[in-house]
């Protein structure tokens, strides 16, 4: 097995954010998982808490950057977005729209009952 | 007859035109090679019937003198591209049985130019990964092995199937996509050439979305000329993708072989990381020497925000991914796992359908976009992104034509070798490539040598926006001096 040469980068980066950084607890991970509509088991929540904290620790170094007066990027290429005529160009094909639905009936998507 | 799969795409194109063999013969040679290489797991679906039908049609057009630029040339398509009526799952369980009723613009462009589809290529689930180990269909095996070793190595990711298939001669060329390095890192790990064009050069319509402000389509090919030929066909302006750019697509192939005399090549000091492996540094120096000897002018430059690109990426990309992947809800397509009510159904479906890495990124993205954290994370990351882009703009404004860096911090590593590692350790694979996505620039990875263990190592060239031609010219100069690299067949 080859030596894990890129370890050195991990160490280099970790040294940058030793100290205080925002971290999440398992309850927060559960809340976020609920927002994202992903069911997590207790074990998963615990494991994800550690992983998320590792990632949040890594991104913490952005706090070193002076961003005063800097515009946030909204478009990476400086071209004006094209416009088109506001007319219908597609549609009228319900069968194609539902073709891949796991459950459908008469060109409607079927879901569990939402309103009593 | 010599093995047809040993030809490059340009050679096969010319031989088909000269009627040395037929498109059906060429396609059959590839289908046989794919069958013999199933152990590499590069393809998740083979489409031999479609391939033979397309090849027959190509032979008819060749006979009638109506050949397109890619007539009869067999290609592999990354599973992220929508292909009409054919398995398209971005190698995720959650898209089980999804067969699009439409074709992606890029693949449609390839078919319109006469290319032949061999099948769909393995990849990291939703393109999230740097080793192709997050695929629902299992890892891809790199055709390259360390000298005197039979340890199975990763081909890189996320376009690992594309890179392995090209290196293993299981297609003439492949489509790929690149959000943080997913074309260039696997190309570097497999001794192939991969180019991520400028954001907006190729239409994203019909690509399964990961991070929409970063995703770009591009080819992986055997050499620089083949990559140029493929990109010419893939690129187009598209009314269905408003971020695709209405600029003429140049004849990229014409840029291959041009002189590099007088071109100014920037060498960014920030890419010389502490503890960088000696052979990566040596490869970089060799690249500098090659370009200098070919007549280019080498200048030292500074891109001061380089080290912040990767952390900023790990806010921006998951944020966009958490939004894009919200559509997988068990209602419109793919997997559905029942639940006690609709929310329970959503949660069960997404818990079963997404793999661990995808869940991790969705959670990070949801967290950084959630109330109270948006400014601290997402807004700050987008400001840092402005600064990263400005670094490049200043370098180009000062007269630099392109920038030379290593493509990856190491050669290919073993399958499972990083399984227990911190997720951040895997992310560091993209430390040299991710800056390019953050700035929307074109970047090409070109193999330039072998490691002490006999594995390919790549260099990266970063260009001005929409100046892919200069990258092909410089890449070809490196290739001319360094040669091309093929693995010894063992599979």
Averaged over B274-278, what is the pLDDT?
A: 87
Averaged over B100-106, what is the pLDDT?
A: 97
Residues B430 and B130: their CA atoms lie apart, in Å, by 8
Q: Which two tokens stand for residue B174?
A: 């492949």
pLDDT band with cut points at 50, 70 and 90 for residue A2: very low
pLDDT band with cut points at 50, 70 and 90 for residue A7: very low
- Residue of B130, B159, B162, B182 marked active site: B182
pLDDT band with cut points at 50, 70 and 90 for residue B291: very high
Residues B464 and B395: their CA atoms lie apart, in Å, by 10
- pLDDT one-digit tens code per residue, B449-486: 999 999 999 999 999 999 999 999 999 999 999 999 99
Question: What pLDDT does B2 receive?
Answer: 63
Cβ within 8 Å of B, A 18-77:
22, 24, 28-29, 32-40, 48, 51-52, 54-56, 58-65, 67, 70-77
Residue B78: active-site member = yes
Asked if the model's pLDDT at residue A6 lies above 80, the reply is no
- pLDDT one-digit tens code per residue, B377-427: 999 999 999 999 999 999 999 999 999 999 999 999 999 999 888 888 888
The answer to whether B324 and B221 are in contact (CB under 8 A) is: no
Question: What pLDDT does A9 receive?
Answer: 37
Asked if the model's pLDDT at residue A17 lies above 70, the reply is no
Averaged over B141-151, what is the pLDDT?
A: 98
> Which burial class, exposed, middle or buried, applies to B463 when counting CB atoms under 10 A from its CB (0-12, 13-18, 19+)?
buried
The answer to whether B192 and B168 are in contact (CB under 8 A) is: no
- In this structure, of B25-29, B118-122, B238-242, the range with the lowest mean pLDDT score is B238-242
Three-class SS state of B483: coil
Q: Sort out which chain B residues have CB atoms less than 8 A from A17's CB and list them.
A: none
Residue-averaged pLDDT of chain B: 97
User: Could you tell me which of B150, B226, B153 has the C-alpha nearest to residue B194?
Assistant: B226
Three-class SS state of B298: strand
- pLDDT one-digit tens code per residue, A67-115: 999 999 988 887 777 888 899 988 899 999 999 999 999 999 999 988 8
H or E element at residue B460: strand B456-463
Question: What pLDDT does B421 receive?
Answer: 83
Phi-psi region of B226 (alpha: psi -120 to 50; beta: other; left: phi over 0): alpha
In a domain, B454, yes or no: no
Q: Which of A40, A73, A102 sits opposite B389 (nearest CB)?
A: A73
Tell whether B68 is within 8 A of chain A (Cβ).
no
ipTM of predicted assembly, 2 dp: 0.93
Q: Which two tokens stand for residue B260?
A: 């590099």
In a domain, B155, yes or no: yes
Residue B357 preceded by cis peptide, ω within 30? no
Residues A56 and B180: their CA atoms lie apart, in Å, by 18
DSSP B173-204: EEEEEESSSTTHHHHHHHT-EEEE--TTSS--
- CA dihedral sign, ordered B371, B377, B378, B382: positive
Averaged over A16-45, what is the pLDDT?
A: 84
Q: Which of A1, A38, A72 sits opposite B383 (nearest CB)?
A: A72
Residues in chain A: 116
- How many structural domains compose chain B? 1
Q: Which two tokens stand for residue B444?
A: 């090409």
Q: Which two tokens stand for residue B253?
A: 């192939």
Q: What is the CB neighbour count within 10 angstroms for residue B101?
A: 13
Q: How far is B363 from chain A (nearest CA, A)?
A: 6
Asked if the model's pLDDT at residue B107 lies above 70, the reply is yes
Cα atoms in the Cβ-side hemisphere of radius 13 Å centred on A14: 11
By residue range, what is the domain housing residue B46?
8-258
Question: What pLDDT does A4 receive?
Answer: 34
pLDDT band with cut points at 50, 70 and 90 for residue A116: confident
User: Could you tell me which of B349, B298, B267 has the C-alpha nearest to residue B96?
Assistant: B349
Averaged over B43-71, what is the pLDDT?
A: 98
The answer to whether B410 and B185 are in contact (CB under 8 A) is: no
Query: Does the distance separating the beta carbons of A1 and B311 come in below 8 Å?
Result: no
Asked if the model's pLDDT at residue A11 lies above 90, the reply is no
Asked if the model's pLDDT at residue B111 lies above 70, the reply is yes
Question: What pLDDT does B59 receive?
Answer: 98
DSSP B276-289: --HHHHHHHHHHHH
Asked if the model's pLDDT at residue A3 lies above 70, the reply is no
- pLDDT one-digit tens code per residue, B323-351: 999 999 999 999 999 999 999 999 999 99
Question: What pLDDT does B251 receive?
Answer: 98
Q: Which of B342, B379, B427 sits opposite A112 (nearest CB)?
A: B342
In a domain, B194, yes or no: yes
- pLDDT one-digit tens code per residue, B216-229: 999 999 999 999 99
Residues B175 and B108: their CA atoms lie apart, in Å, by 12
Residues B255-258: contacts with CB within 8 Å, 24+ apart? B255/B228, B255/B468, B255/B469, B255/B470, B255/B472, B255/B473, B255/B476, B256/B224, B256/B225, B256/B228, B256/B472, B256/B473, B256/B476, B257/B473, B257/B476, B258/B473, B258/B476
Averaged over B112-136, what is the pLDDT?
A: 98
CA distances from B362 to B59, B162, B314, B346 (A): 47, 25, 11, 14
Question: What pLDDT does B285 receive?
Answer: 97
Asked if the model's pLDDT at residue B259 lies above 60, the reply is yes
N-to-C CA span, chain A: 61
Query: Does the distance separating the beta carbons of A36 and B363 come in below 8 Å?
Result: yes
In a domain, B37, yes or no: yes
Provide the CATH number for the domain around residue B170: 3.90.1300.10
In a domain, B334, yes or no: no
- pLDDT one-digit tens code per residue, A49-65: 999 999 999 999 999 99
Q: What is the CB neighbour count within 10 angstroms for residue A15?
A: 8
In a domain, B54, yes or no: yes
């Amino acid at each position: 097995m080859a030596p894990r040469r890129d370890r050195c980068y991990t160490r280099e980066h970790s040294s940058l954010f030793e100290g205080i950084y925002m971290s999440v607890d398992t309850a927060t991970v559960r809340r976020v998982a609920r927002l994202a509509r992903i069911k997590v088991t207790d074990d998963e929540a615990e494991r994800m808490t550690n992983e998320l904290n590792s990632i949040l620790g890594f991104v913490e170094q952005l706090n070193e950057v002076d961003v005063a007066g800097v515009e946030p990027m909204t478009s990476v290429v400086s071209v004006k977005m094209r416009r088109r005529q506001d007319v219908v160009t597609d549609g009228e094909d319900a069968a194609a729209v539902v073709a891949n639905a796991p459950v459908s009936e008469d060109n409607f998507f079927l879901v569990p009952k939402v309103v009593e | 007859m010599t093995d047809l799969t040993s030809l490059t795409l340009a050679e096969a194109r010319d031989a088909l035109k000269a009627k040395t063999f037929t498109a059906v013969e060429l396609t059959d040679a590839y289908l046989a090679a794919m069958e013999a290489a199933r152990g590499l797991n590069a393809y998740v679906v083979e489409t031999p019937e479609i391939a033979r039908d397309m090849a027959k049609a190509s032979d008819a057009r060749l006979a009638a003198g109506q050949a397109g630029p890619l007539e009869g040339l067999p290609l592999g398509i990354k599973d992220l591209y929508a292909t009409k009526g054919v398995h398209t799952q971005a190698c995720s369980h959650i898209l089980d049985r999804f067969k699009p009723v439409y074709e992606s613009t890029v693949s449609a462009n390839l078919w319109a130019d006469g290319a032949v589809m061999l099948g769909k290529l393995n990849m990291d689930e939703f393109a999230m990964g740097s080793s192709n180990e997050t695929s629902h269909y299992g890892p891809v095996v790199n055709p390259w092995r360390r000298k005197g070793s039979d340890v199975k190595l990763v081909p890189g990711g996320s376009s690992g199937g594309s890179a392995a298939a090209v290196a293993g001669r299981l297609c003439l060329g492949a489509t790929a996509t690149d959000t943080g390095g997913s074309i260039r890192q696997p190309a570097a790990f497999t001794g192939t050439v991969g180019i991520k064009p400028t954001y907006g050069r190729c239409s994203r319509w019909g690509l399964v979305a990961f991070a929409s402000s970063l995703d770009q389509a591009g080819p992986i090919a055997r050499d620089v000329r083949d990559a140029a030929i493929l990109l010419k066909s893939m690129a187009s302006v598209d009314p269905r993708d408003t971020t695709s750019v209405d600029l003429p697509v140049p004849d990229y192939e014409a840029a291959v072989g041009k002189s590099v005399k007088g071109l100014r090549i920037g060498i960014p000091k920030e890419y010389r990381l502490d503890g960088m492996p000696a052979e990566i540094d040596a490869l970089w120096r060799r690249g500098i020497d090659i370009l200098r000897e070919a007549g280019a002018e080498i200048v030292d430059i500074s891109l001061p925000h380089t080290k912040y690109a990767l952390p900023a990426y790990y806010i921006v990309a998951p944020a966009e991914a958490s939004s894009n992947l919200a559509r997988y809800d068990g209602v419109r397509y793919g997997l559905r796992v029942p639940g006690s009510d609709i929310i329970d159904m959503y949660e069960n479906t997404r818990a079963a359908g997404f793999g661990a890495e995808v869940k991790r990124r969705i959670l990070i993205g949801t967290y950084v976009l959630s109330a109270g954290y948006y400014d601290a994370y997402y807004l700050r990351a987008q400001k840092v992104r402005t600064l990263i882009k400005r670094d490049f703009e200043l370098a180009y404004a000062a007269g630099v034509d392109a920038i030379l860096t290593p493509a990856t911090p190491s050669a290919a590593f073993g399958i499972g070798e990083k399984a227990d590692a911190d997720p951040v350790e895997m992310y560091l694979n993209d430390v040299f490539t991710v800056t390019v996505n953050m700035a929307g620039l074109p970047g090409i990875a070109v193999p330039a040598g072998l490691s002490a263990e006999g594995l390919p190592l790549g260099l990266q060239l970063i260009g001005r926006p929409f100046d892919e031609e200069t990258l092909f010219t410089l890449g070809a100069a490196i290739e001319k001096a360094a040669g091309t690299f093929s693995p010894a067949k063992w599979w």
